[in-house]
Amino acid sequence: MKIGKFVFRAETFKEGKLFVSLSPELGVSSFGKTEKEAKSSLKEAIELFLEECERLGTLKNVLEESGFRIRGSSWQPPMPTIENLAIGG
C-alpha cells in the first residue's frame, strides 16, 4: 500500500533545554534544540515509522486503528476536541 499524502497532528513543547514534538495518535515523538529542529525530526521519525509499517504489511490497520481516514487523496488525522479542564479549588 502506497501512503501518498499523509497529514498528521503534531504537538510541540519545551522540556528542559530541548523541544519535544509528538504525534499523539501514532505515539511517535522526537526532539531537537529548537522547535523547528524538533518538528523536522518528528517528520523523519514518522516517515520511518510509516515505512516500517508498510514493510510489515500493517500500515492500513495501524492508521485506521489510530483514527486516520482517507479524505480525498490523503490520509487525515482524527479531529480531537481539545479543551482545558480544571479540578480542585
Q: What is the CATH number of the domain that holds 24?
A: 3.30.160
Q: Does residue 82 form part of some domain?
A: no
Q: What is the pTM of this model?
A: 0.85
Distance CA 35, CA 88 (A): 33
Q: Does residue 69 form part of some domain?
A: yes
For the chain, the domain total comes to 1
Among 44, 42, 47, CA closest to 18: 42
Q: Does residue 81 form part of some domain?
A: no
Q: 17-75, pLDDT tens digit by residue?
A: 999 999 999 999 999 999 999 999 999 999 999 999 999 999 999 999 999 999 888 99
Flag whether pLDDT at 89 surpasses 90.
no
Q: Does residue 88 form part of some domain?
A: no
pLDDT the model gives residue 1:
62
Q: Does residue 68 form part of some domain?
A: yes
Residue identified by cell 501518498 is: 4
Q: Does residue 83 form part of some domain?
A: no
